[in-house]
Structures are given as C-alpha cells and as structure tokens.
Amino acid sequence: MDYSMGPTAEQPSGRGMPPDELSALAVRLSRLAGEMDTAGARLAAATTLEWRSKSAEAFRREADVRAADLAASSSKVREASDHAAAYARALEARAAQGSAMFGG
C-alpha cells in the first residue's frame, strides 16, 4: 500500500503504517542507500581516468562535489532506514505487550 500521498480511505488519518510494511520500507531504504554508495564509488572511479586538461580538472572537482552529495544523501537515507526499522520493532513490541496483557 502506498502511503506517500497521505491518508486514504484504507488508511485513515491518525493510523500509521503496519509494522511489517515499515520493516519492508526500512529494507527498501537500506537498499537505496547501498545503490547510492555504489553510484558514488563509480563516480569516484571515473575521476581516476588518465585524462589531463582543464576540462578534466573541472570534471574532477564537480565529481568530488557530487560524490560528497551522494555520500551525505546516502547517510540520511540509511538513517531513515534505521529509524523506520526501530519504529517497526517498537510497534511490534507494543503489540506483543498488548497481546500478552489480554492473554493473546
């Protein structure tokens, strides 16, 4: 279910994503962060080509900036993944406690 557009008829306001969907989101975000890391590594590798000119210098400077941007963004995405996973675990623990309180 896609919650990116806010509450829907199936997911009323005030109710969050179920823990299993949050866990799946955390996995997707983690994979995305890995893909961003790979892109940054490929970009860094491109700057090692034997190319000497003013254009090459400009490319390397720009590539360094973009690689740093990718690294920072990847870190934020990984952080979001960690938070989503932690929240899913907290919801699962809360549900288990509630279930145990009522003999379930």
CB-based contacts of 83: which residues, under 8 Å, 6+ apart?
none
Q: Would you say residue 75 lies in a domain? A: yes
pLDDT mean over 28-49:
96
Asked whether residue 40 is assigned to any structural domain, the reply reads: yes
Residue 5 is given by DSSP the state T
- Distances from the Cα of 26 to the Cαs of 34, 50, 79, in angstroms? 12, 40, 10
Q: How many domains does the chain have?
A: 1
The better pLDDT of the pair 10, 29 is held by 29
Q: Does residue 45 belong to any structural domain of this protein?
A: yes
CATH number, residue 46: 1.10.287
The answer to whether residue 91 sits within a structural domain is yes
**Taking 70 as the threshold, does the pLDDT of residue 2 lie above it?**
no
Q: Is residue 3 in a domain?
A: no
Residue 6 lies in a domain: no
Domain that holds residue 80: 19-101
pTM, rounded to two decimals: 0.75
